[in-house]
Structure 1
């Protein structure tokens, strides 16, 4: 099958045990990567460095490490990684999540079925303590037409689940430094501005960790201002109609202002 690079960004707040589990899940793929590219987004803890150094020593030809001098944020860190990955096909992975063993094989096979697509994604399962007992399955539209229609109100591609073509991401401007919305910003440009075809596998291939802090980060006045400001800028660019902006930003603003328990309930029961 096609050669591919795994792209992961790590910063100092990650837990070493979760980083190890994430890396192991990608090393256990049924179709192996040709490159595992890790961006150190600023100085890491000694424990995180030890985990990465252990894998570099064990797999010297597989791992490529880019160490940034200071913490740049996810968007800029991944932008550097995209430019320097040595393969056209890049598969994303977050440093505290888990991929099922067949994930990369299924993404690659789907790309063979849809060679016109620039991005292939999937569902993701959200879990707290036990992956075997997920609290929600985050579902997204399947076809390129459905993704295009959905994108004007909510992001229709789940960032850590995706395979994308390096040339497509660079041609669409790569990641920008957009706090909290680096993925949505990029995918809007890919789908709505450049009309790149995409596809989502209607199956969970990815497990993402969530807890109460996950929902707390998505609430409050500051988060609300960031969300509404981002969506207003997307409206001004023509990616959202005024009606789409009012529905999307208004709904998110209301959810941001809810108490955390209610916000968690809304996410798990209505936004998944």
Structure 2
């Protein structure tokens, strides 16, 4: 039986109004199977143009929109947890404020959830800020065993593509405030809890990339986040001692090498680029990569 869907979309002061409009319309108005509710989390104050665009999108939306306005910028994890509390439906889909969903995204993913999965992601297409040229593709592992194995070394899901069971996510504590790695930690907790996981290899989201992403994946802040997530995984029993040592050496070292080498390592070892990748110049904000 079809189940209702809430769309969870965080927005913060750094987002562009035109990109937000494209993200919203592609994931709501243009879907062949639309969400039944949209929850926009405004993570702290935004300027007048962005606030006006949020209000315009909510007013014109073909489905109900709830705006969760946080008084201060709390970061992605806590903002998503606040948004989850406002999601009225048992299935939740994630979307970022500068990406684009393909029209059949939910028509593909929701039947998999309705058939018994708890968490479903997909492949994605990277494209640049200026124009829609494809820059590369990330193809995740698709079967549960492959996802579980991948998760011990790298994030097995493309976060902006995922659809999941709200109550299961809340039962493991949600995202929490684990900056730069909140999604990766959540997937690990779900796998430990026995979640039924899946990915669709087909790219269902276009992921916007901008200047500086490989630079932002390195540096001391990213190294500290990397070491913290590896320590947490070890305490949870998610990784073995050997896996912990490997990850600290390989992933920790990746945070410290020059940007050119980091780009090569990310594409060949960590991100899971598919055969369709043309090895151009994707660059964007950091994350669990």
TM-score, normalised via structure 2 length: 0.88
Correspondence 1:34-183 to 2 at 5 A: 34-59=36-61, 62-112=64-114, 114-115=115-116, 117-129=117-129, 132-183=132-183
Moved more, 236-245 or 32-41: 236-245
Q: Which residue of 2 aligns with 1:199?
A: 198
Are the equivalent residues in 2 in contact too, given 1:135–1:268 (CA < 8 A)?
A: no
How far off is 1:268 after superposition?
Answer: 2.8
Q: Secondary structure at the match of 1:90?
A: strand
Whole-Å separation in 2 of the counterparts to 1:217 and 1:22: 23
Note the C-alpha offset of 1:236.
2.1
Q: What displacement does 1:211 show?
A: 2.8
What is the alpha-carbon distance in structure 2 between the residues aligned to residue 253 and residue 134 of structure 1? 29
Decide whether the 8 Å contact of 1:136 with 1:268 is kept in 2.
no
| Per-residue deviation, 1:91 | 0.7
Q: Within 2, Cα distance between the matches of 1:102 and 1:61?
A: 17
Paired position in structure 2 for 1:248:
247
Q: Is 1:231 the equivalent of 2:230?
A: yes
For residue 135 of structure 1, give the secondary structure of its aligned residue in structure 2.
strand
- Rounded Cα–Cα distance in structure 2 between residues aligned with 1:34 and 1:233: 36
Q: How does 1:23-42 map to 2 (within 5 A)?
A: 23-26=24-27, 27-42=29-44
Counterpart Cα distance in 2 of 1:100 and 1:61: 18
Counterpart Cα distance in 1 of 2:211 and 2:242: 32
The equivalent of 1:189 in structure 2 is: 189
Are the equivalent residues in 1 in contact too, given 2:113–2:164 (CA < 8 A)? no
Q: CA deviation at 1:248?
A: 1.9
Displacement of 1:122 after TM fit? 0.6
Unmatched runs of 5 consecutive residues or more in structure 2:
273-289
Query: Is the partner of 1:222 in helix, strand or coil?
Result: helix
Give the gaps of 5 or more residues in structure 1: none
| Equivalent pair of 1:131/1:207 in contact (CA under 8 Å) | no
TM-score, scaled to structure 1:
0.93
**Structure 2 CA distance, aligned partners of 1:142 and 1:71?**
35
Distance (Å, rounded) in 2 between the aligned partners of 1:231 and 1:200: 24
8 Å CA contact retained: 2:23, 2:98: yes
